[in-house]
Amino acid sequence: MIDEDQLRLGRRRLLQALAASAFACVHGQRPSVVGPATATIGGLCAHRRRLVAFDNIHRAEPLVVWPHSVAELQRFLMNLEPGRRITFRSGGKSIDGQALNDDVVVMLTDRAFTDISEVRMDPTGRIALITVGASATWGDILAATTAAGFVPRAVPSAAGITAGGSLSSHSISRFSPVWHKEGDHVYELKMVLPGGHLRTLRRDARPGTSDHNLFLGVVAGFGFLGAIVEVTYELLRVAPAGAQVQVATHSTLFHPRINGLWVDLLTTLQRRSVDNEIVLRRAVTTASTPPPQPEPEPEPADAAPATPRGRAAQKQPAPADTEPTPPVAATEVQLEERVVTIIPEPASTVYASFWWGAGSEKPEKALLAESRYVYDRDLSPMILYEPDNEVMGEVENLMMGSSWVNRTIQDLATRLFANGTVAVTPIAGFTFFQDANLLVREREYTGPRSVVLQQTFILPDPERGAAFLNDLTATVRGDAELPTLCDVLWLPKDAYPFCLSATAESGGFAITLTYLRPDDSRREKIQRELQALTARCLAHGGRIHLVKSVEVGSQADLEATYGAQFAYFRALKARYDPRGQLVNRFYERVLGPWTPPGAARAAGQAGRPPA
């Protein structure tokens, strides 16, 4: 007898594979479809390709190279000609221009970068780990961990996103309100610096060492300090090995109580998230903290591969002698000890979606959802979490076409699903809910392509978050473009102060606005409106999450909010990329023009920890 769950999973994986293959071919990621080599760069054959960001807005026509191993990547970087600018790319799911370059793009898509280890225990026997290549997809990683009864604590929302790409952005997941963002659960990573040196970085490196500083820069660093080639993640046990891991979700229409919808909604999200996090965590005592690691040599001589015979490596500038001082101190209360006993009823994560109804006054509404891991339950999935369902694709097409239809569908969905019942969904369907949009976009490849703009605003507390949402409501009730989807969740402060993370200094509400449009005709209007909302967010003491669309009036707006963090990152870049090879348009739009090492290092050393 055929197992229905296995049949559903098999159909889903087939559709994902077909969609990923089509996406990769169209976006220039498959070596099998390239033409003759047009140049030799760093010892590798390069081909001129047209690459498109996931938003279908940002584009480039760089020379593209495909290293076939870590050693070949190292040799390429050692031999790279001065003056070249490069960007690393794999899954092609970046929404903005993070993974594009006008000069050279390095595709880390070879099978050498996709290995996934078995789940294993660390030397203490208390921490479950899995090691994956930078181009291993999260769909494959999640399948490997759940087969053993484990899950990563933070998983991005599309199966085709790769580990290297998501860690370079310090990604958010639906479970981030209780388990933080992705980088907080990295046990170890391996990266290749611009000069070709391979470094192994552990999160427990002693503060002030080069390993510690690089770790803070590489996670959420968008590949601007080097290429992540391997990651070891900590895992959470949620089921026995072989069980069907699922997610149970309880959704209700949120009713304001005292202070109006926005303040009450955000206060509820924060309170429940913090309460649930307390259930799942406890402070680590000094005795249980791992001993500090000895400081490694800045550039281990044995880390660089042998130079190919008959070709001399380009001489790389030596790093500066001094390490910049991080602008934010590490969190004193560290993450809990990862005891790997089964948690049969783990505390929930909580998040919300909101919209403006179809009435003439466009009343604001919100759906509050709580989700937790379960296993071997009878399935009762919600259509939102069945991305391979053909109906879901058609619904997304309808929502793109008309604001009135969008509001009507969301009102109808609330009546269907916000009735107090619990939906039990296979974990892949819940986690990779964005795959429905991917499948819609694959069907468009013979015709016009839809445009995606998705920006996340981080607001520090309920009052300022509510003020921003009031500003947003005022624009929506005017003549502004209506977002297709809006959601909000609470993000705790990072356990490690990653340089380019919006939550390095404090927690905040991640308010994400997604605009799906069938063509490019309204893009500029939406961009202007997002820039105006950015100004309101910054005026309320918020920040822009740099991972998705980044629509700002000027780079100075970002500089004013990230200040010391940007200066510290520039100092790291001056030390480890003194030639400015890992720079693209996105870097200069966000961090400003690349400056020579002397000026950048002085700026970083002048930074002081915030009060």
Q: What is the pLDDT of residues 103-112, one digit of tens each?
A: 999 999 999 9
Between 190-199, 394-403, 431-440, the lowest mean confidence (pLDDT) is in 394-403
Domain membership of residue 484 (yes or no) is no
Counted domains in the chain: 1
Residue 429: the pLDDT is 87
CA 153 and chain centroid, separation? 13
Domain membership of residue 102 (yes or no) is yes
Domain membership of residue 93 (yes or no) is yes
Does residue 339 have a pLDDT over 60? no
Residue 398: the pLDDT is 62
Sign of the alpha-carbon dihedral angle for 218, 224, 225, 229? positive
Rounded Cα gap, residues 41 and 78, in angstroms: 11
Q: How confident is the model at residue 346 (pLDDT cuts 50, 70, 90)?
A: low
**DSSP secondary structure letter of residue 201:** E
Rounded Cα gap, residues 156 and 546, in angstroms: 15
**The domain spanning residue 32 has which CATH number?**
3.30.43
pLDDT digits (tens, 9 = 90+) for 523-534: 999 999 999 999
Residue 521: the pLDDT is 85
Rounded Cα gap, residues 600 and 242, in angstroms: 52
Sign of the alpha-carbon dihedral angle for 227, 229, 230, 236? positive
Residue 421: the pLDDT is 76
Does residue 328 have a pLDDT over 90? no
Does residue 297 have a pLDDT over 80? no
Between 51-55, 89-93, 330-334, 381-385, the lowest mean confidence (pLDDT) is in 330-334
* Max Cα distance, the chain (Å): 76
Kindly give, in sequence order, each residue whose CB lies less than 8 Å from that of residue 123, ignoring residues fewer than 6 positions away: none
Mark out the alpha helices in 315-457 (DSSP H runs). Answer: 390-401, 403-417, 427-431, 435-443
pLDDT digits (tens, 9 = 90+) for 210-248: 999 999 999 999 999 999 999 999 999 999 999 999 999
C-alpha Rg value of the chain to the nearest Å: 23
Does residue 564 have a pLDDT over 50? yes
202: tokens are 């552990």
Does residue 386 have a pLDDT over 70? no
Between 298-312, 394-408, 421-435, the lowest mean confidence (pLDDT) is in 298-312
Coil, helix or strand at residue 488: strand
Rounded Cα gap, residues 268 and 610, in angstroms: 29
Does residue 493 have a pLDDT over 50? yes
78-90 average pLDDT score = 95
pLDDT digits (tens, 9 = 90+) for 584-602: 999 999 999 988 776 544 5
298-310 average pLDDT score = 41
Does residue 310 have a pLDDT over 60? no
* Highest mean pLDDT (candidates 25-29, 260-264, 333-337): 260-264
Domain membership of residue 19 (yes or no) is yes
Domain membership of residue 474 (yes or no) is no
Q: What is the mean pLDDT of the chain?
A: 80
Specify the amino acid at residue 139.
Answer: G
567, 545 contact by CB (below 8 A): no
335-356 average pLDDT score = 62
392-413 average pLDDT score = 65
Higher pLDDT, 472 or 521: 472
Between 45-49, 164-168, 310-314, 358-362, the lowest mean confidence (pLDDT) is in 310-314
Does residue 58 have a pLDDT over 70? yes
Domain membership of residue 43 (yes or no) is yes
Does residue 142 have a pLDDT over 80? yes
Residue 280: the pLDDT is 57
116-142 average pLDDT score = 95
Mark out the alpha helices in 349-402 (DSSP H runs). Answer: 390-401
CA angle 606, 461, 610 (to 5 degrees): 15
155, 264 contact by CB (below 8 A): no
Between 132-136, 299-303, 316-320, the lowest mean confidence (pLDDT) is in 299-303
Domain membership of residue 398 (yes or no) is no
Rounded Cα gap, residues 173 and 95, in angstroms: 16
Residue 91: the pLDDT is 87
Rounded Cα gap, residues 460 and 458, in angstroms: 7
Residue 278: the pLDDT is 66
Expressed as residue numbers, the domain containing 91 is: 4-110
Does residue 258 have a pLDDT over 70? no
Specify the amino acid at residue 15.
Answer: L
309-316 average pLDDT score = 42
Rounded Cα gap, residues 280 and 283, in angstroms: 11
pLDDT digits (tens, 9 = 90+) for 149-191: 999 999 998 899 999 999 999 999 999 999 999 999 999 999 9
Domain membership of residue 65 (yes or no) is yes
**DSSP secondary structure letter of residue 256:** -
Does residue 296 have a pLDDT over 70? no
What percent of the chain stands above pLDDT 90?
Answer: 56
